[in-house]
Amino acid sequence: MRGQAKLQKLSLLTSARVGHLATVDAEGKPYIVPVVFACDGHRIYIALDSKKKSASVERLKRVRNILENPRVAMIVDHYAEQWEELEYILIHGTATLLKQGKVHEAALDMLKAKYPQYQCMPLDKAPVICINPERWVCWTAIDRH
């Protein structure tokens, strides 16, 4: 990734508070859900936390979809009424579930640092979705030259 595009990617991924994760089940039916996330510059991490959910973590549609088909997409965008300020990043990749280990711990630390709500939430045993990007598409209406 070129220097300018990499700076744009990291800037938006650092500042954005929410993204939208798209998964697909084994039958090809898409499913999109808003998520909070952290990025280490290479991978994206999403905690499966204890906020109210319609099912247990193992039964969540996004988890079942990832287990059936690990191909995912995620979009992170910045919307503004001044359209010359619009920008987004579309990430295509594969997702895995992390349940323990050093990467799991580091991901939770990043998420706790970004979202104060996670400071008092019991996350140590919470699975983390890890997205390994294969393609980043960055777009901005801002002329950065």
41-92 pLDDT per residue, tens: 899 999 997 655 565 667 789 999 999 999 999 999 877 787 777 888 999 9
Instruction: Give residue 75's pLDDT.
Output: 96
Distance CA(136)–CA(77), nearest Å, equals 13
HSE (CB half, 13 Å, CA atoms) of 23?
21
Q: Is the pLDDT of residue 9 over 80?
A: no
How many CB atoms neighbour CB 58 within 10 A?
11
CB under 8 Å to 42, separation ≥6 — which residues? 133
For each of the domains in the chain, give its residue range(s) and CATH number, in order of start. 3-140 (2.30.110.10)
Buried b (16+ CB within 10 A) or exposed e, 64-85: bbbeebbebbbebebeeeeeee
Lookup result for tokens 């990749």: 93
Kindly report whether the global pTM for this prediction surpasses the value 0.75. Answer: yes
How many CB atoms neighbour CB 1 within 10 A?
12
Burial of 142 (0-12, 13-18, 19+ CB in 10 A): exposed
Mean pLDDT of the chain: 86
Buried b (16+ CB within 10 A) or exposed e, 21-46: bbbbeeeeeeeeeebbbbbeeebbbb
pLDDT category of residue 1 using cuts at 50, 70 and 90: very low
